[in-house]
């Protein structure tokens, strides 16, 4: 199968996703991959190379994505919708531009089907095993009792504030703008605040050397069109580093909790209780459930996609 992979115009985490997916697609026998960027003459490439499939990681329908879609009139289009459900009020406008839609949110499937698209499938993101794997180190900067890597949404800020005010645990937060939202964070000696983006290859060191990793999911979209229940990509990345993670109690995590070393909390008070049980109790910290590594790799996801693409 000749496949045109169009790199997402988004940057940051999408650079990692593009690289990981291109590697995965390229490793599959029988796939002839053509790679294009948003500024390439995509319509001309389609005309000359005649791919059977055009594949695109779709975000929220920004202008660059719209321009890409306009140039893909002569081949079958497959989109992996990576921002569901948070921008679904935007993405719902573009589902019919794709012949096949994969979404990272399980509840989005029935939502898109109700809008008339009959080829929608749930497909969570995965992880790149060449980037995320156990990375034990003696380097003190990566060691913590509790760590979080990601954007400071309000629920996450609240959790970190509660922890540093009520405990003496060593806490590390990593991600853009954290220093803007944690008031007087310098006054808390146990808190390390790295307020900028770090490459995924370094993220694994923080996960692997923390007693427990926080993974509260992003808050539901304000318009409340649908509520998210599915795991985010961090669930798989943290587990791949053989780390324990504490997540909000999402319905979609129930069948994954044991295999991915996930502990869940019910409310803010329960966050401290669950963390305390893990950090300070006599619970056996060596009792971890080995994850089926191959089950959640990007290669595994793509093989499932191929079966559905037909």
- The neighbour count for residue 303, using CB atoms within 10 Å, is 12
Terminal Cα-to-Cα distance of the chain (whole angstroms): 10
pLDDT in tens, 179-215: 999 988 889 999 999 999 999 999 999 999 999 999 9
Task: Please state the pTM of the whole predicted model.
Answer: 0.94
Q: Please write the tens of the pLDDT for every residue from 215-228.
A: 999 887 655 678 89
What class has domain 140-293?
A: alpha beta
With the C-alpha atoms ordered 7, 8, 10, 16, is the resulting torsion angle positive or negative? negative
- Rounded CA-CA distance 240/257 in Å is 14
Mean pLDDT of the chain: 92
Q: Which tens digit of pLDDT belongs to each residue from 250-274?
A: 988 888 877 788 999 999 999 999 9
Report whether 135 contacts 241 (CB < 8 A).
Answer: yes
Spatial distance between the Cα atoms of 197 and 149, rounded to a whole number of angstroms: 9
Q: Which residues pair with 79 in a beta bridge?
A: 56, 101
CA dist., res. 3 & res. 116, Å (int):
26
The domain 2-123 belongs to what CATH superfamily? Glycogen Phosphorylase B; (3.40.50.2000)
Q: What residue ranges of the chain are covered by domains with CATH 3.40.50.2000?
A: 2-123, 140-293
61 beta partners: none
């Amino acid at each position: 199968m000749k496949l045109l992979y169009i790199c997402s115009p988004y940057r940051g985490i999408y650079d990692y996703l593009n690289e990981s997916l291109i590697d995965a697609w390229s490793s599959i026998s029988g796939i002839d991959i053509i790679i294009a960027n948003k500024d390439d003459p995509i319509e001309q490439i389609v005309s000359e190379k005649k791919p059977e499939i055009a594949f695109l990681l779709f975000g929220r329908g920004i202008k660059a994505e719209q321009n890409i879609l306009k140039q893909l009139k002569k081949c079958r289009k497959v989109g992996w919708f990576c921002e569901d459900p948070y921008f679904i009020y935007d993405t719902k406008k573009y589902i019919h531009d794709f012949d096949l839609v994969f979404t990272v949110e399980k509840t989005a499937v029935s939502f898109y089907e109700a809008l008339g698209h009959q080829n929608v499938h749930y497909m969570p993101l995965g992880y790149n095993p060449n980037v995320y794997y156990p990375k034990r180190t003696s380097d003190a900067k990566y060691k913590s009792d509790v760590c979080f890597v990601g954007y400071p949404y309000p629920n996450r800020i609240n959790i970190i504030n509660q922890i540093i005010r009520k405990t003496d645990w060593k806490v590390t937060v990593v991600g853009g703008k954290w220093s803007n939202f944690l008031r007087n964070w310098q006054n808390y000696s146990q808190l390390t605040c790295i307020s900028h983006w770090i490459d995924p290859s370094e993220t694994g060191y923080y996960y692997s050397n923390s007693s427990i990793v926080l993974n509260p999911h992003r808050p539901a979209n304000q318009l409340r069109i649908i509520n998210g229940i599915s795991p985010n990509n961090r669930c798989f990345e943290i587990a791949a580093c053989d780390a324990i993670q504490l997540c909000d109690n999402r319905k979609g995590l129930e069948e994954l909790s044991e295999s991915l070393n996930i502990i869940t909390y019910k409310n803010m008070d329960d966050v401290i209780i669950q963390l305390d049980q893990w950090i300070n109790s006599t619970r056996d910290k060596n009792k971890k459930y080995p994850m089926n590594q191959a089950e959640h790799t990007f290669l595994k996801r793509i093989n499932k996609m191929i079966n559905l693409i037909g």
